[in-house]
Amino acid sequence: MTWESLLQQLPKGYLPQDVELVRRAYELAASAHGDQKRDSGEPYIVHPLAVASILAELRLDAKTIAAALLHDVAEDTAVDIPDLAEEFGSEVASLVDGVTKLVAISEMARLPTDSRDPKVESLRKMLLAMVGDIRVVLIKLADRLHNMRTMSHIAPEKQRRISRETLDIYAPLANLLGIWQIKWELEDLAFRYLEPDIYTKMKLDLAQRRAERESYVQSVIETLGAELEKNGIRGAITGRPKHIYSIWRKMMHKGVPFDQVYDRQGLRVIVPEISECYAALGIVHTLWRPIPGEFDDYIANPKENQYQSLHTAVIGPKGQPLEVQIRTSEMDRVAEVGIAAHWRYKSQTRHDEVYERKIAWLRSVIDWQSQERTDGNDFLATVKEDLFRDRVYVFTPKGEVIDLPAGSTPLDFAYRIHTEVGHRCRGARINGKLVNLEYELRSGDQVEILTAKRGGPSRDWMNPHLGYTQTSRARNKIRQWFRQQAREENIAAGREILERELERLGVDNITYEEVAGLFGVTSLDDFLASIGCSDITTVEIAERVLQLGKVEEAPKPVTEELGTQEAPQKPAPAGQGIQVQGAGNMLTVLSRCCNPMPPDEIIGFVTRGRGVSIHRRDCPNLLNLSQERLLRVSWGTASASAVGASRVKIRVQAYDRSGLLRDITEILQDEKINLLDASAVTARQDNLALITATLEVRDAEQVSRVLSRIDRLPNVVEVRRQKG
């Protein structure tokens, strides 16, 4: 890449002063980078020239091109931002400064969701700056694209790390901004380094069928073109480029082989007017049979990044699936360059109404930050969970389009509309029909929220196992509501929640103070208040309490009284799908009298001829066993998923009603839990039913989730895990 080739790419409408600005930026960058080299050995100036070239192809304004040429100067040379401001003005300097700070996003992508790293605040500021001037992101996307194109000279481990960041952060950003041509190339390049074998095979499959595919597409173009002309529609028809990562994602998402992915063969139809889009759609559906469920009208219901088009898939000639996109010339321009269209050289107004609409979705992700004070954890979780997930598009009763992360519920919708609407939500209608609040929204749904005149949210809405909310935005607002309640109320509520949760888990050998200690909290009142305001959830309590045996040795009266012998601490063979340490190479068997499961505290008993029998430490049968044959044992490091199914008994008390057992078994079926046995007895005097059941479960988390779901059933008084 040279200055001369970039000069040829600059938009034809540039004024002489625009070209002069770009030239001066190039000269300063070339001088500042001097003899610096890239990993490939090329002069470093090749990189900023290539970044500027990518943006010139998008026909961006001269100040953006100048900033692209200078984007690494402040970070890698002696020239600083004030120098750039003096030489090129504050606008160019601000763009370069923004790009320099934007490197924080890569670092944040690698942070765990619960990180309290101070860089969270940097990410917050970066996003706030980003909605002020999107050109910063456009330069960074072009920078990442050229780096991805030229990664062959760096270490494989670094290639994979950069590619993972690209798929997780930069490609979704390009998608959200509507810059499809950059998005697709970023995805394919990243996929090439992350899955080289799959990428190579798919590329060969496409190449081998290229001649056949091009011949097929050409015949379809001729057929459709003739029909459009016959009906007086002036349309340009082209074959749509095939993107390997897009094809692979559809294969994974739909569970279909390569041959059944509809967009392997695609057409794009460009017509002058919107009315002709629908006329062309009718002709396509007349020529070929539509595939059910494969039509989307993004013209009537544009995406929030302003993408508009008609999408349909049909069974084309020779029975081959064919995807067709139909749109106007203006829609096609926006589809290709997205929000970059606003910054083309001919545009003079920086913050017009169209531009504000185009970035409204991005502001919505962070606007709650200015309304409510949240910590870095909440903000980082929102960015990572909401900003870079797939989206669904639903309607308000007035027809306004609302963009939400895939998997969102009516409560997520309500909190997106307004905090108070969420707090007072008591039900929802989807397309005119009442639904549960955990209903998963689908694109095209019309959502009506039913509210009470007063009241607040439920603590159950915070429980991820119950599925009421899926977005961090909604959960943060609920948590803030409870935080603002009186401290005494939160302490009382927290005490009640903790007592109920410990009873439900069948744990009675631990004090509230000990549970607080598991969270590193010394004040019991502070701990209970945190539970009461939902900063600490029942799910977290269950996980910490059930993992107590892994963290520390709690008092064990039975084993201390008997006096145990120590066995060599070597992993035993994986008997019955589990690994147990402390039993040497002996066979291990889970005892059916107490049904231990990870992470219960356990002890081993050496049987005669059947290896080591594994019991829960609170198993009453231990009192009858010989002390000389008891061993200290613990669960191995294998994950719960590797342990296999474990048996657990549960006890449900409920006022009897028709359908109670059916509702419980439906929950078990939904969780894919095997019901080994069950019994039910009803006391006539108070109509109170006692149901006991033995289940095969994967792990303690599944037990906690099932108990939570059963506890929500009508008429249920108590549900808990039963000992023995």
Active centre residues (catalytic): 75-76
Distance CA 109, CA 166 (A): 10
C-alpha torsion angle, residues 137, 142, 146, 151 (rounded to 10): 20
Distance CA 99, CA 638 (A): 44
Distance CA 207, CA 201 (A): 10
* Tokens representing residue 472 in the block: 């961090």
The torsion angles phi and psi of 512, rounded to 5 degrees, stand at -60, -40
List, in order, residues 6 or more apart from 223 with CB less than 8 Å away: 287, 317
Instruction: Report which DSSP code applies to 372.
Output: S
Distance CA 637, CA 629 (A): 24
* Residue where the block lists tokens 């692209």: 68
> Each residue of 513-551: b (16+ CB within 10 Å) or e?
eebbbbeebeebeebbbbbbbbbbbbbebbeebbebbee
List, in order, residues 6 or more apart from 82 with CB less than 8 Å away: 93
Cβ atoms 661, 691 nearer than 8 A:
yes
Which is nearest to 509 in space by CA: 403, 600, 438, 610? 600
The torsion angles phi and psi of 437, rounded to 5 degrees, stand at -70, -15
Residue 146's Cα: distance from chain center in Å?
27
How many C-beta atoms surround the C-beta of residue 498 within 10 A? 22
Instruction: Report which DSSP code applies to 43.
Output: B
Residue 232's Cα: distance from chain center in Å?
46
Which is nearest to 365 in space by CA: 327, 315, 403, 406? 403
